[in-house]
Amino acid sequence: MNIKKIKLVCLFFALIFNFIILGNVTYAQSSYPVLTSISPSSGIQGETLEVSLNGTNFGSYLARPTVSFGPDITVDSSRLITPSKIIVRITIGDNAQGQYNVILTSAGQTTYPQTFTVTIPPHCTTPSIYSIAPSLLSANSKENTLTIFGSNFTKGTYAYLNGYSRETNFINPNKLTMFLTTRDLAIPKDGNIVVSNGVNCISNSAIIKINYSTGSGDWLVHPTPTYYASVLTKQTNEVTDISAILYGTVDPKKYLTTTWFEYSNTPDFAKFTETEHLSLDVIDKPSDLSQTIKDLTPKTNYYFRIVAENNSGVTKGNIISFTTKEKIALADSPLASTDPKVSVSGFLNKQKSNFSLSIIGWAILIIVIVMAIAYFIAKRRSR
């Protein structure tokens, strides 16, 4: 056989083999699954909820990926929406607490973990109402201050009339003052008063009677209706170690309305911070609101609610919590890659693995070339 042909054959097979090795490396580099975000990124002990996982290369309907949230959290079901999105239904155990690593596995490849935080349900010290004074007011009365006597009041306690919050002053753990609006007193009726220390932490009710007489002997035939703004606090998924974007919805009810967020690191809002107050147009449909808060403390639980105020009074929304992420260390700073969450250490480990495979491929190529050269030399000497 011609020596030149032998050399070409050896070189051809060496290149093919090397292409397979390096090709596998390239394929592994480009096709491993990447988990970029999860939403929501936190939950409460004992809660069952759906979590959306977003990223790339999650697999296909024939090769479905698997998801793990670690111990104490059970993955009940999963739905692959697209190769870049999967929705899982999880149940958080009663003993779960703290941060857990969420890992997705597809075709034997695992993602870098994302963090899911489990919080303990806020502790509730239920307030009680013993009495209110006065308990009887005349419609259109100029007296608009009620004194509420009871127990377990805090600086974050709010009083509500018929389900709507009113300006409340904390005097001591056994005494509050509550301020009614002009519109409250314009409608002759019985009012239901409760006080709240937070979510699902509500007192017994007391009744305030607003007399049907205006005091001058006249009857109110056409009472002025009240139009409190409707508010809804929404879950936030935009959370870093020091900032978060808060979301909510406000329906001004055709009244000029001012709205803002309140946030605190305690569920009772004993001490809270207000965001910038914004004015809404006079419209009759809900408006979405979002505001960014900064200078937060890493790995800390925060609670927030949306607030709106118009001529009818102040309305405070439901309370939602989130946990800021762990402070990003230099070693874990993101790199410019397809996965913004890839850390320097993890990236280098993957590159070392791929580099090792590349060395093997090139080594085999060099060996085959050396063998071809040796064969050529030996052939020349045998002549």
CATH label of the domain that carries residue 111: 2.60.40.10
Q: Output 161 or 296, whichever has higher pLDDT.
A: 296
Write the CB contacts of 373 (distance below 8 Å, at least 6 apart in sequence): none
Query: 135-164 pLDDT, tens per residue?
Result: 777 666 677 788 999 998 988 888 888 878
Asked, for residue 330, whether it belongs to a domain, the answer is: no
Do 256 and 244 lie in one domain? The reply is yes
Query: 208-226 pLDDT, tens per residue?
Result: 877 654 443 333 333 334 5
List b or e across 140-167, with b for residues whose CB sees 16 or more CB atoms inside 10 angstroms.
Answer: bbeeeebebbbebbbebbbbbbbebbbb
Task: Examine the pLDDT at 203 and tell me if it is beyond 80.
Answer: yes
CA 361 distance to own-chain centroid: 46
Task: Examine the pLDDT at 176 and tell me if it is beyond 70.
Answer: yes
φ, ψ for residue 331 (rounded to 5)? -70, -20
CB 227 within 8 A of CB 310: yes
Do 234 and 319 lie in one domain? The reply is yes
* C-alpha pair distances (Å), 37 with each of 109, 212, 324, 331: 18, 58, 14, 20
Residue 227, pLDDT score = 64
How many residues are recorded in the chain? 383
Asked, for residue 220, whether it belongs to a domain, the answer is: no
Please give the helix or strand (H or E) that residue 4 lies within, else none: helix 3-31
Asked, for residue 328, whether it belongs to a domain, the answer is: no
Q: What is the mean pLDDT of residues 54-70?
A: 84
Domain count for the chain, please give it: 4
Task: Give the β-pairing of 73-82 and 145-151.
Answer: unpaired
State both tokens at 273.
Answer: 């911070």
What mean pLDDT is reported for the chain?
A: 77
Task: Examine the pLDDT at 7 and tell me if it is beyond 70.
Answer: no
Do 243 and 312 lie in one domain? The reply is yes
Sheet holding 287-293, edge to edge: 230-234, 244-251, 287-293
Residue 194, pLDDT score = 87
Asked, for residue 343, whether it belongs to a domain, the answer is: no
Asked, for residue 335, whether it belongs to a domain, the answer is: no
Asked, for residue 225, whether it belongs to a domain, the answer is: no
Do 25 and 38 lie in one domain? The reply is no
DSSP, collapsed to helix, strand or coil, labels residue 289 as strand
Residue 187, pLDDT score = 63
Domain boundary residue, one of 95, 121, 147 = 121
Asked, for residue 79, whether it belongs to a domain, the answer is: yes
Query: With bands split at pLDDT 50, 70 and 90, how would you rate the model's confidence at 371?
Result: confident
Domain boundary residue, one of 75, 104, 121 = 121
**Which of 79-88, 239-248, 329-338 is the least confident region?**
329-338
Task: Examine the pLDDT at 69 and tell me if it is beyond 90.
Answer: yes
Asked, for residue 223, whether it belongs to a domain, the answer is: no
Do 237 and 289 lie in one domain? The reply is yes
- Cα-Cα-Cα-Cα torsion 277, 259, 310, 133, nearest 10 degrees, comes to -90
Query: With bands split at pLDDT 50, 70 and 90, how would you rate the model's confidence at 107?
Result: confident
Do 23 and 67 lie in one domain? The reply is no
Query: 232-290 pLDDT, tens per residue?
Result: 899 888 899 999 999 998 888 777 788 999 999 998 888 999 999 988 765 667 888 89
Domain that holds residue 273: 230-323
